[in-house]
Every structure is written in structure tokens, then in C-alpha cells.
Structure 1
Amino acid sequence: MTFPTGRAVLAAAAAIASFSIATNLHAHGDVTPQPVDTTALPDIAGGNDAWTTENPYTGNAKAIEIGQSAYGQNCARCHGLEAISGGIAPDLRYLELGSSGDEWFVERFRHGSSHDGKVYMPPFGDVLGQKAGWAIRAWLESKHTDE
């Protein structure tokens, strides 16, 4: 009986790993943004046109509930379930609290992120709207950790 050499074993492991990675990337499914029902949330002055720079829903239980659902439908495929990233995108549990974290979040949510012609995060602002964005941020604040 002949046993595979070390190189053969490494080659087989690399092939299995690359197949597994490719399968996982395709497993994200439909990336069409899913609508978020925000009718239960108080209106934000300016609507979707004049975005506020600080989260008006911080600590709002209904916003946190809506944000959790919206995150699961629109963000988790890249940022991870419960905001625990698997390395594809930033782990949003570490997003700074307060106005500086709000500023970073709303900029990325509204405009997305791209570098050298590659889209790393699509813009969600015009698609989901301000109320949904801030509800997601409120939920993320409830998941915040410094560890």
C-alpha cells in the first residue's frame, strides 16, 4: 500500500480549502437589499433628504428590534451573524459609540465603500433610508464590545 507524500496531502488540502471558500462566497445568496418596515419609528426631521449626524434612536427598544431584523436581512451576509465578523468585512461590534461612531456609520451606510474601482460595501442610504440606517445603528450599539 502506498501512502500519499506530504506534498500530495498539502495539494489535496489546498484544493479542498479553495473549493470550500468558493462555496461559502457563493452561499451568500441574493444580495438585493431587503425592505425594512420603519413605520413604527418616530419620523426624523428632514426625512431621507437631510440626514442627521447623530443617531436619534439610540436606546429606543423598537428601533433596536427593527434594526436587528434589518441587519439580519441586509448586513449579516458580510458583517456576520450577531455582528460577529468572520473576516470578510469589519466586525461592527467594535464600532465606536457616540457621535464619532455615528459619523463613520452613516457615511458608510449612505455612500458605501470602494477603493481602486472595487466595491467593498454597496451604498444603502438611498435604498433603505435614514430610519432603517439609524435603527441598524441602534441595534449595533446594543451589541457593542471593547474586548
Structure 2
Amino acid sequence: MKPLRTLCTLLITTLALTALPTAHAFNVVTPQVDTSTLPATARTWDEPNPLRANKDAFTIGRSAFNQVCAQCHGADANGSRSPAPDLRRMGSGCKRIQDDALRQRCMADADAFFMKSVRFGKQKFGIVHMPPWEGVLTPDVAWAVRTFVENAPKQSQ
């Protein structure tokens, strides 16, 4: 009986995996944005986000996001492109933390998760859900995108 159960499990798993949607064909492009107004501190992958309060970063990040990320995450980060996650939610819970030091640590964790995802991509069971962007996006562009995403309005859809 055990070999039959193993065979059935293998068949069910194979059928389940073949029923999964096929991987998205990613259009990997370098965004055309001018980052000359951003500070030199943004030219490294080190967290936390050095551009968090920078107004130029928001504008640059919005442009870069719409050129590169919107194909999967929706225009202006509106979260309309399922199954890609709504990036506006990343770290949003941190903003409710009253203790300043704890809120900053929470945001730094969200920044680290964001940058790891951007740099190295997302892959599950051999399926690429998000390509790696290191080498395509510079750190200052990635931080500008992070700044835009965490400040993008959460309008109703």
C-alpha cells in the first residue's frame, strides 16, 4: 500500500504544480531618471532608507516605479496588479508605533526586507515571482522607489 500512496501523492503534487499559473514575463528595463539631486548617502544599499524625508526622492521614485515596477504592482503603486503585493502596506504598521526608537527599528526592518527583495528578487519552487534588480537599479533609485512606495496615497480602487 505504501508505494501506491507515494505514487498517488507524487501524481497529485505534479498535477497541482502544473496547474499553477505560469511565471510572468518580466520586462527588465533601467528607469530613465535623474538622481543628481539626491544625496551621496543614498548611493549605498545600507539601511535604513537615507531618503525617507526627501521630497525629490518621492518624485524620482514615482517615475522609476511607473517605468519599472508598475507592470506588476500597478500604476502609482495602487496595488491593482494581482497577484503582486500592494507595496504600500510594507512597513505601514510601523507608523502606528508610539515609541520613536521602536518605530525606527521597525521601519529599518521593512527597509531591509524591501531592499533584499529588490536586489535579489523573489523565487519560490523554482518559479521567479520577481526578478533581481541589482545591477539594473542603482541603490539611490531603489531608495527613491522605497520612499515613493511608503508615501504613496492609499486611494480606494
Say yes or no: TM over 0.5.
yes
- Say how many residue pairs are matched: 117
Quote the sequence identity (%).
36
Q: Structure 1: any 5+ residue segments left out of the alignment?
A: 1-24
Q: Is the 8 A contact 2:49 2:111 kept in 1?
A: yes
**TM-score (normalizing by structure 2):** 0.66
Does residue 35 (structure 1) correspond to residue 44 (structure 2)? The answer is no
The one-letter code sitting in structure 1 at the alignment partner of 2:38 is: L
The one-letter code sitting in structure 1 at the alignment partner of 2:115 is: V
Q: Is the 8 A contact 1:44 1:56 kept in 2?
A: yes
Q: Secondary structure at the match of 1:139?
A: helix
Q: Structure 2: any 5+ residue segments left out of the alignment?
A: 1-22, 93-106
* Corresponding residue to 1:72 among 57, 63, 66: 66
Deviation, 1:144, is: 6.3
For residues 92-103 of structure 1, the aligned pairs below 5 Å read: 92-97=87-92, 98-103=107-112
**TM-score (normalizing by structure 1):** 0.70
Distance between the aligned counterparts of 2:76 and 2:123, measured in 1? 24
Structure 1 outlier segments of 4+, above 6 Å: none
Map Cα deviations across residues 11-46 of structure 1 (whole Å, 9 max, x no partner): xxxxxxxxxxxxxx99x8x8131334312211127x
